[in-house]
Amino acid sequence: MADITIIVNGTVHQLSVEPRKILADVLREDLGLTGTHLGCEHGVCGACTVIVDGDAVRSCLQFGVQADGASVTTIEGLSSADELTAVQQAMADHHGLQCGFCTPGMVVSITALLDANPDPDDQQIREGMSGNLCRCTGYQGILRAVRQAAEARST
């Protein structure tokens, strides 16, 4: 076991984790933050996307021990309890989700995309979202949600 200190959504946690435990499982099992979803567990689907030290990353492709000393933001940390972010509101407005399994990763990726590029064009949105797979609702609603969120955040 390895001892790590990790800041998650602003709270400092000291944990003892197996080195082989991926960050997503540390978040879900040790911290009970089950909003981060695991789809493929090998870096293809993007459902487990979280923000580590400002970078959107796949939490299935990083071991918890590698996040020792890092600051992590999960889907639970993006908004306050009773208010949706512009990205979350846009996903609801445009039916950007159906079953919802991919949604946490989508919302985190959209947030990171717009943080880096507040006014992306269509090609940049499509490329930026190409690392997140949705298997039921299709992508048009999600793309419309990104456009609305970009506008809402700029006003």
Determine if 41 is a binding residue for another protein (CB under 8 A).
yes
**Any alpha helices (H) in 23-67, and if so which ranges?**
23-25
Q: Decide if 82 contacts 26 (C-beta within 8 A).
A: no
Determine if 61 is a binding residue for another protein (CB under 8 A).
yes
Structure tokens at 106: 């989508």
Determine if 120 is a binding residue for another protein (CB under 8 A).
no
12-20, 26-34, 77-85, 137-145 -> range binding another protein (CB under 8 A): 12-20
C-alpha–C-alpha distance, residues 67 and 61, integer Å: 11
Query: According to CB under 8 A, which one of 8, 33, 47, 62 is a site residue for another protein?
Result: 62
**Tokens 């933050």 label which residue?**
33
For residue 71, the cross-strand partners are 7
Binding footprint of another protein on the chain (CB under 8 A): 2, 18-20, 22, 25, 41-43, 46, 49, 55-58, 60-63, 65-66, 109, 112-113, 116, 126-128, 130-131
